[in-house]
Chains A and B, each alone.
Chain A
Amino acid sequence: MLWYWKHVGPRRIVEFILLTIFAIFFAGPLVNLLVLAFSEKWNYPNVLPQIWGFKWWEFVLAKDDIVSSISLSFLIATLVTLLSIVVCIPAAYAFARLQFPLKRMFLFSFLLTHAFPKMGLYVSIAVLFYQIGLMNTLLGVVLIHMINVLMFMTWIPTAAFRNVHRAQEESARDVGASPFKVFRSITLPMAMPGIVVASIFTFLNSLDEAQGTFLVGIPDFKTMPIVMYSIISDFPSSAGAVFSIILTLPTIILLVAAQRLVSADVLASGFQMK
């Protein structure tokens, strides 16, 4: 061992130490979570569980309200994603292509929803929802989720549309494509990576949203994060661990898919204010 350290030099040793600290901080809780989810008995001071098993998986998956919360969460996330695409993509195209007064201000105003403490914003929206009867409705929950993602869902596709050069659209017109055909065959496909990234972000954000849902959706709309709260308070931590893994799975799958589709610079270009 010692000969190895002598060989690599002090720079490498520092790097190694930093990496180890990072790994412990980053992966430690995740490993703990995984072990916890598959343990049936795990008492202090044992380093590993005394009994391994799927008991808590069976328990979690057998509870009706948990299973229904999973399907509800996915339903809401899908609705939120589709609706934000319908609302935000045309807006993004307008921001990228059209000239209108106060354009920059409008684009910047999307930041406002992230500037205030979330709870304050949600409470004032809840007051409004009471008056128009949107409390405890699917639409209410979907709307409150959409407020969270407006900014990313507009900014990232705006940048993506901007990256489609005007000459590329004009060339398509030139060879005979109608304006609609140009949008469908040229502009939209070229902006697609940015739109996909924004959509995935929206989907995951909706899956994860708890505060707003808690305020607007209770008692009928219990999504996964809401149910998570009650599980953590009512059952042993193993049940919570199982549920966290279920909640994390779609995130991991979608992120891996997104990584294959787009490079980091597409994401980064979403935050350029032009």
Chain B
Amino acid sequence: MKHCRLSFRTLGRHGFLAITTAFVIVPFIWMVSLSLKPPEEIFQASFSLLPQSWHATQNYIRAMTASPLPRFMLNGVFICAVIVVFQILICAPIAYALAKLRFPGRHVFFNLVLVSLLIPSQVLALPLFILAYQLGLLNTYAALVFPFVVSPLGIFLFRQFFNTISDDIVHAARLDGMSEFTIVWRIMLPMAVPALIAFSIFSVVGHWNDLFWPLIAVRSQELMPPPLGLMAFKNEDTGIDYGPLMAGSTIVVAPLVLVFLLAQRWFIEGLTSGGIK
């Protein structure tokens, strides 16, 4: 009797989760499915997951050549890498100072970080657009990067992590004659690798996926990151030949999904660390 009830429960559990899983995953499956099909099958009223005649090569080649998609991808990698390197270079030292040093103005500095943490980036778009215009940065790589070189969230997370590192380690390093700068890079940051990875994932995913700021900052196709490039491709691609468009979308989404499947725990930790925001 009890066994019957248990297996009924298990069945109900998997049944419910199968439905929500379908809701979540159908867009991904549909995207890949359409990217394999020739136009005439996409227009067919009936649907099947796999194409009758495979059109994958044509669609993916078209996506890679009809628009500068490889260029968009390289732009994305370049922009994300530059942003995250700047963020770490700038956030780690200030986080160390806030966590381990005592100096006048420390509370003012920390409150500055907290206030900045409250400000949504979209609010900054208009003034930063004007600033970029004044400096002649619009439509350059610099325009895509400069608003993000400092991250209040990065400072906050690093400071939190540095706080958990014992002061004794810092004292020992000082007695060894290390300078404070060396301590930040050689002692603190290597110990803060978990925070570093979580923050880097948060930053890279956010900027790889960002559409809002690139839309404002650049016009030339050569500078576009993947989401903006994909939109440009969609706009010039007349009609509803979804095949190449879906191939392009798959190429843009795939890197993050693949890395996510390899490093789920880090991803989930990194992306929810923004939850404090």
Say if A and B assemble together: no
Name A residues whose Cβ lies closer than 8 Å to a Cβ of B.
none
Name B residues whose Cβ lies closer than 8 Å to a Cβ of A.
none
